[in-house]
Amino acid sequence: MKIKNRISTAQSCLLTVALLGMAATLSATPISPYSLNVRVVPRPVTPGDVTTYGLAASTEVSGGLSTFAIGTPAYLEVEVIKNAADVATITGVNWTLTAPPGSSAALTASPLTTNVPVFLPSDQLLYQVAPMNGRMVLRPDLAGEYTVGVTVTNTSGTTNVSSSFHVGTYYGVDVCEGCHTDSPEPKGGYIPQMYSSWSTTGHANIFTEGIDGVLGSHYSVSCIKCHTTGYDTNASALGDGGFYGVQQADGWLFPTNLANTNLASTNFASMPQSLQSVANITCENCHGPGSQHIIPAVLHLDGIIATTWPGLDIPYNVGACQQCHDDAPTHAQGTQWYASSHAVTTTTPTSASDVASGAAEYCVRCHNTPGFIDIVSNNAAGNGIVTSTNVAYSAIGCQTCHEPHGLTYPTNDSHLIRVMSSATFGDGTVITNGGEGILCMNCHHSRNGSAVTNVANWPLWIPTWPGAAINPTNGPSSRDFGPHDNPQGDMIEGVNAITYGLTIPSSAHRLSVTNSCVGCHMQTISSTNSNGSSNPGFLLSGGHTWEMSYNVFTTNGNTITTNKIDQVGVCNQCHGGITNFDFPVEDYAGVGTILGVQTEVQILLNELSTLLPNKNGVLDGQVKTSTQISVTTNWTQAQLQAAYNYQFVSADGSLGVHNAPFATGLLNASIASLTGGISETVSLPNGWDAWELQYFGSLTNAAGAADADPTGDGIPNWLKYALGLNPTVSGLSVPNGVVYANGSALGGNTPTNTLEIYTAADVEFDTVAGMTYQIQEVTSLSDGWKNVGPPIVATTNASISYLTPTVGNLQQYFRVVSTNTP
C-alpha cells in the first residue's frame, strides 16, 4: 500500500515549529556568516521510500550515516527552513568536494525525485530541500575523509555550509570483539564492553539461524541483504570488505539445503571465517565500516593517543534501522513508526532559547532520543529532577526504546527493549507491575511533581524543571500549574490526583494487561482482512504506530468526510462485541441512562468546566475547553483542586478508556466539591450507598470504604459489591481447591447460589440446541485465546458445566464462543 505522505495533518499540530539556532546538523558546520538557515545532510533512503515515491527499483538503500563504505552512495541534500519568502529568494546552490589524494570521486545528480521530502516526519514540518540543485550523490572510491561544501546564494548574499564524511572498509565483527569484549582494557580509559551481550541478540544470529534452517524453508538469498554486513552488489563496492565482496572472493554459494541436522558441521560453521565475520547484523551495520576507527583505536591501545574515537557513527537517527525495517508488509515496524506521534515529537525543548535557559536539559529526557538514553544509562529514577545535557534534537525513534547491543534488556526479551525495573512518578509512586509498558511510563506520567504539593503550594510552588516562568510576586505562570501533558501512567495506576480523601476505585487494566501500555497500543493489525482484501488500518494503527484508531477519508465533490475507526480487537478479548471505545459501562455521569464511557466522561468534563472561572477570572457558567481554563493566583483552593483534576483527565486523552472508575470518580468528586459537599456516591456506582448502609450502618464508617477489607480475606469491598457478596463474611479456604466461597446470593432466581473460584475452573453456560460452543482460555490478556477441550455440541436448551484442567498459572481468563448459528 502506498502512502502519499508519511505525516498526517492531525500529526502536524503536535510539532511546535521553532527556528533552530543551528545552521546545520550532524557534522555540518557553517564556514562563513550566512543569511539563511541552511544545512547539508546525508539523507537515508529506505525500501519504503523506493516504493512510496516510485523510485527506480535499482535505487540502493542508505542508512544516512556520515561514515560509509567505498562505493556506497551518500544521498546528500541541502535543507532550508520552510519560509516561503526566504526560499523564494534563493538564486543558486553550488557544491564543492574535497577528497583524499588520488581520488577521482565526484558529486553526481541524485536519483531522488522532487516528490521525495526530507527524511524525518518532524523535519518535514520544518525543512524543505533547497530548490535549484539541492541534491547530489557522493560515491567515494578511496578510504579517507571527504568534505562537501555548499554555497547557497540568495538576494541577500551567500550562505556557506559544509559536512565531512569518513569513508572506509568493513573489518568484521571479529575485529570489534578485540576491544569491545568483557576483558579489561589494556591501557585504562573507557571502552564500552558490549560484544558478549550483543552476541545473544537476534541481530547477532539472524543469518546463522537462517542458513542453518532454524527459521524455516522460506529463507533465501533475498533475505541476506539485510542479514549480513556491507551487502552491496554494486561493482564499485566489491573492495569494501562487505559480505557480497568477500563472498565473491571466497566463492561461497548460498546453500540449497537449509536443514540443521548436524550441529558440528552446520552451513554457517562450514563458511570461511572471513565471511562469518561479516555475516549477521553486526556493529558495522549501524556504526559504519570500521577501518577509519580501528587505526586510531590500535594507536590508543599503544598509549599514543587519547580516547577520542573518530571514524564511526553513533546514530540516533532512525535511518540506520529503517534501511531494513521500512519494508512493508513483512518488515513494517519502521513504516508504522512514521504514523506515530513519536515521529513528530516537538523540537521546542532543543530550541536556542530553551537551551540557554536550561529548560532543555530537563525536557530532552523525554523529548529526544539522546536525552532519554542519557537518563536511562545513568539509571535515573525518572521522577522529574534529573537532567540531561545532551540536547541535540532527535525524534523519539527506534534507539529511544530499543537497546541494540542487548545491554539493558532481559536475556529472554527478543525485542531489545530498554526495560527498566520500575518507573517513578512525580508523587513518588514506584510502578513495577507494568511489564514492557514500564518503559513508556518513564515518560508518560505527570512529571510535574505531586498533585497535592502542586495545588497546596500554589502560587509559591516552584515547578520541577529549570527555566520555569517564575514571577517574584505572582509565582509561576499558569502554564506551569497542574499535571504535565500525557499523564497516562498516573491515570492507569489511579494515582497522583486530588482525591479529597476518598478511596476512588480503579479499573482492572493495571492488573489484567500484562504489559500495560504495550499490551493494547501495540496490538497486531493484519495487512489484510479476513476476506483477503487490504486492511486500511495496517500501517496506521497498532504496532509501532501506537495508535488505537485511524482515520478514513471519503470525498464527495468538495466535501471531505473523516471517519475515525477504533481498533477494538484487543479490547474484545475482555469486553466482547464492542465496535468502538465509546461503549456503555454504567451511568457515571448520573444522567439517568447508560451512555458510552467516553460520552459520560465528556459530560462530566463539560459540567466541571462550567464551575471554573474563565481566563478573566469570571464564573460565567459556560462550557470551556482545556485551553480556555487558565489558572490565576486568585483562584480558591477548591477551584485549583478541581482544575487540576480537569487537566489530569483531559490530558490523559483517552476520555476514561484507560481508567473509567478513577477518571469519573475524580470528576464527580471535583464537581461535588464546588457544589456543596462530597459523598462516596460521587466515585462509586449507583446503589453503593444503600449497600454500604446495609452492611456498615453509615456512609462514614472506615470499614465500609471501597478499598477496605474488613474481614482480612483479601477481597476488597468494591469487589464484593460487584459480586453481590456479604462484605462482613470472610471467604473460606478449603482442601478441595475452593479458594473463596460465600453463601450470599449472586443474582438469579435461586438465593442459595454460591461463588466458588477453583484452581481448576468450573465454567457454566447456557446453550441452545443445535449450536456448537468452544471454551477458550488465556493466561494474559496480551496473548491470543486458546481452545480448552473439544467443541461442545448442544443437543438441548440447557445449562452445561465444564470443569477445565487444573491450571498452574497465577491467573487465568475464560470465555465461551459459539461457532455456528442454530
Phi, psi of 158 (to 5 degrees): -130, 150
pLDDT surpasses 90 at 289? yes
The model's pLDDT over 670-713, given as tens digits with 9 standing for 90+, comes to 998 898 755 443 445 556 777 777 888 877 788 888 778 888 77
pLDDT value of position 746: 36
Cα 116 from chain centroid (whole Å): 26
What is d(CA 517, CA 524) in angstroms, rounded to the nearest whole number?
14
HSE value, Cβ hemisphere, 13 Å, CA-based, for 184: 3
Average pLDDT over residues 626-655: 93
pLDDT surpasses 50 at 568? yes
Average pLDDT over residues 243-270: 84
pLDDT value of position 755: 42
Choose between 377 and 484: higher pLDDT. 484
pLDDT surpasses 70 at 26? no
Confidence of residue 512 (pLDDT cuts 50, 70, 90): confident
Distances 396 to 20, 340, 343, 372, 433 between C-alpha atoms, Å: 18, 10, 6, 9, 24
pLDDT value of position 771: 86
pLDDT value of position 37: 86
Confidence of residue 811 (pLDDT cuts 50, 70, 90): low
pLDDT surpasses 70 at 29? no
pLDDT value of position 637: 92
The string of DSSP codes covering 270-304 is TS-HHHHTTBSS-HHHHH--SHHHHHHHHHHHTTS
HSE value, Cβ hemisphere, 13 Å, CA-based, for 355: 14
Helix (H) / strand (E) containing 802:
strand 799-803
pLDDT value of position 392: 76
Helix ranges restricted to H, 16-151:
47-52, 84-88, 121-126
Choose between 730 and 703: higher pLDDT. 703
Q: HEC states along 662-731?
A: HHHHHHHHHHHHHHCCCCHHHCCCCCHHHHHHHHHCCCCCHHHCCCCCCCCCCCCHHHHHHHCCCCCCCC
Q: Which fold has domain 9-171?
A: Immunoglobulin-like (2.60.40)
What is d(CA 118, CA 123) in angstroms, rounded to the nearest whole number?
7
Choose between 160 and 807: higher pLDDT. 160
pLDDT surpasses 50 at 724? yes
Torsion on CA atoms 83, 86, 92, 98, rounded to nearest 10:
-70
Q: For strand 67-69 and strand 157-168, is the pairing parallel, antiparallel, or unpaired?
A: parallel
First vs last C-alpha separation in the chain: 40
% of the chain beyond a pLDDT of 90: 44
pLDDT value of position 706: 75
pLDDT surpasses 80 at 418? yes
Average pLDDT, the chain: 81
pLDDT value of position 44: 97
Confidence of residue 736 (pLDDT cuts 50, 70, 90): very low
Confidence of residue 178 (pLDDT cuts 50, 70, 90): confident
Confidence of residue 90 (pLDDT cuts 50, 70, 90): very high
Confidence of residue 100 (pLDDT cuts 50, 70, 90): very high
Choose between 168 and 265: higher pLDDT. 168
The model's pLDDT over 190-233, given as tens digits with 9 standing for 90+, comes to 677 889 889 999 999 999 999 999 898 899 999 999 999 999 99
pLDDT value of position 170: 96
Per DSSP, 210 falls in state: H
Choose between 185 and 98: higher pLDDT. 98
Choose between 305 and 518: higher pLDDT. 518
Going from N- to C-terminal start, the domains of the chain cover: 9-171, 173-301, 524-566, 712-818
pLDDT surpasses 50 at 656? yes
What is d(CA 91, CA 98) in angstroms, rounded to the nearest whole number?
24
What is d(CA 40, CA 24) in angstroms, rounded to the nearest whole number?
7
What is d(CA 372, CA 350) in angstroms, rounded to the nearest whole number?
13
Specify the residue for cell string 537476534: 202
Helix (H) / strand (E) containing 815:
strand 813-818
